[in-house]
Amino acid sequence: MRDVRRAAVVAASSGCAALLTVVPATADGDAGRRVLRTERVSVASDGTQGNGDSRDEKISADGRLVVFTSHATNLVPGSTHGTQAQVFARDLRTGRAEQISVAGDGTPADWGSGAPSVSANGRFVAFESGATNLTPQGNPSGWSQVYVRDRWTNRTELLVPNGPSDSGDSGTRSPSISADGRYVAFASARSDLVPGDTNDVSDVFVRDRLRGTTERVSVGSDGTQANHRTEVAVISADGSRVGFKTAATNLVPRPGAAGAGNDLQSPPRPPVNKFFVRDVRHGRTELAAHAYGSGEVVAVLGEIGLSPDGRHALFSSSSPDVVQGDTNAALDVFATDLRTGVTQRLSLASDGSQANGSSYGAVMSADNRRVFFASDATNLVAGDTNGEFDVFLRDLQTGKVERLSVADDGTQGSGVSATVDADQAGRTATFSSEASNLVPGDTNGTGDVFVRRLK
């Protein structure tokens, strides 16, 4: 029950499927450092490579802190978590590594932790854990719970009070934290978080940490409860919009239909995962992934996202109906402008050619100009012959595409690279990779987290 889930590269695609190298610190803190474009960050403070797999990376908006999940036991002293993954952070300015999944007194979590999400300045990190020792409240239910770690005060808090231990799935999971750390979106099957929760399925909620209030957001504009399970919460930087993935068919009317009973996905068929965005301030819910022209629902696969300003909804779909001219029969990444309703395909080559492989996991810079994603397409850039998933950057203004999962000299990676994230400026990207040739001395034979500084 306490298992912490992690997305796999193959799972995301089969549904259709670095920076500053730090040498020993000097008195002035910044001296003795040389800048590399690609650096491995899932290492100890002294540069020792991790002895376990690392992934699930996120970077703070200011580009200073990378948080990630790792099975390595040698990244920080006293981290004795055995086979259970834990959450760590690396300060890209100082090179210091720290464990995030710890209690207020620094005691490491006694069970697995993962799914980190970081505030803009790196102060707050939300994560989920099945541990029983992170807060005085404990974890009597045995399910994974969402916690928030304040790195400045060394305080770890349980996001929402524990629920009844005998009420089935009473966990909280999939946290996404706002830029200031005040709001955290999360998923839970608990029915006691808000009044009137009687749908008996997992929903998505937002917790206001300042006021101590919780609101359910996976509802229709009129407050209708979702009629199917909802998962995967993402929140805009200011906390005003929350995206979620659900199989529910009753949150918005079917396009062109009038009257009650006109479910979004009708005539009846097996429900598919859809992408909705909730405007929390105005209480409006809209379909973010839809077919061109008709507005009909399209299935979304893998990760979803929002641009920092909440204007663009990012998703992956293998449907040929999202945009005109989609004939590659592959999973592509898209962005829907929630202001205009227009959707554009992002996974294209510099000349506008369609990708000849699957793409997923898009993130966008704050100026909505740069988009980052993973793909196994071989025609997005010249010389892509490694036969692996790689991480790419596309400039939406110029159309230029750049592969990021390469060594400093441009050598392509020898293994799968995936799950990219980027800072607010779109100048520093972090990604996980199985490649062993992106940096010198990578001999641990397992996945690592890297950063790539862009020109």
Give bridge partners of residue 277 from the DSSP assignment: 243, 286
| Residues 298-301: contacts with CB under 8 Å, at least 24 apart | 298/274, 298/322, 299/272, 299/273, 299/274, 300/245, 300/272, 300/273, 300/274, 300/275, 301/12, 301/15, 301/16, 301/273, 301/331, 301/360
The sheet carrying 417-422 orders its strands as 38-40, 448-453, 428-433, 417-422
Q: 388 forms bridges with which residues in the sheet?
A: none
Distance between CA atoms of residues 39 and 128, nearest Å: 27
- The pLDDT value given to residue 400: 98
Cα dist from 271 to 230, 302, 414, whole Å: 12, 16, 38
- Phi, psi of 139, rounded to the nearest 5 degrees: -145, 75
Side chain identity, residue 149: R
Bridge-partner residues for 147, per DSSP? 127, 158
Task: Label residues 122-135 b or e (16+ Cβ within 10 Å = b).
Answer: bbbbbbbbbbbbbb
Strand order, beta sheet including 97-99: 54-59, 65-70, 86-91, 97-99
**How far apart, in whole angstroms, are the C-alpha atoms of residue 451 and residue 67?**
11
Measured over the CA atoms of residue 108, residue 79, residue 8 and residue 420, the dihedral's sign is positive
**Which helix (H) or strand (E) is 333 found in, with range?**
strand 332-337
- pLDDT tens series, the chain, 455 aa: 444 333 333 343 333 333 333 333 333 334 344 456 999 999 999 999 999 999 999 999 999 999 999 999 999 998 877 789 999 999 999 999 999 999 999 999 999 999 999 999 999 999 999 999 999 989 988 899 999 999 999 999 999 998 765 555 689 999 999 999 999 999 999 999 999 999 999 999 999 999 999 999 999 999 999 999 999 999 999 999 999 999 999 999 877 654 434 456 655 567 899 999 999 999 999 999 999 998 999 999 999 999 999 999 999 999 999 999 999 999 999 999 999 999 999 999 999 999 999 999 999 999 999 999 999 999 999 999 999 999 999 999 999 999 999 999 999 999 999 899 999 999 999 999 999 999 999 999 999 999 999 97
Domains and CATH numbers, the chain: 9-453 (2.120.10.30)
| C-alpha span between 358 and 363 (Å, rounded) | 16
Residue type, 419: T
Alpha helices (runs of H) in 142-217, residue ranges in sequence order = none
| pLDDT given for residue 11 in this prediction | 40
Q: Tell me the backbone φ, ψ of residue 362, rounded to 5 degrees.
A: -80, 140
3-state helix, strand, coil in the chain (%, to 5): 0, 35, 65
Q: What is the pTM of this model?
A: 0.90
Given phi > 0 = left and psi -120 to 50 = alpha, else beta, which region is 215? beta
410: left (phi over 0), alpha (psi -120 to 50) or beta: left
- Ramachandran region, residue 325 (left: φ > 0; alpha: ψ -120 to 50; beta: rest): left
Separation of alpha carbons 5 and 27, rounded Å:
41
Residues with Cβ within 8 Å of residue 307, at least 6 apart in sequence: 236, 314, 335, 364, 366, 368
Which distant-in-sequence residues (6+ apart) come within 8 Å of 354 by Cβ? 325, 326, 327, 328, 330, 332, 348
Q: Are 75 and 43 in contact (CB under 8 A)?
A: yes
Please report, in angstroms and rounded to a whole number, the separation of the first and last CA atoms in the chain.
44
Beginning with the edge strand found earlier in the chain, give each strand of the sheet holding 359-364 in spatial order. 359-364, 370-375, 390-395, 401-403
- Which pLDDT does position 222 carry in this prediction? 96
pLDDT of residue 271: 81
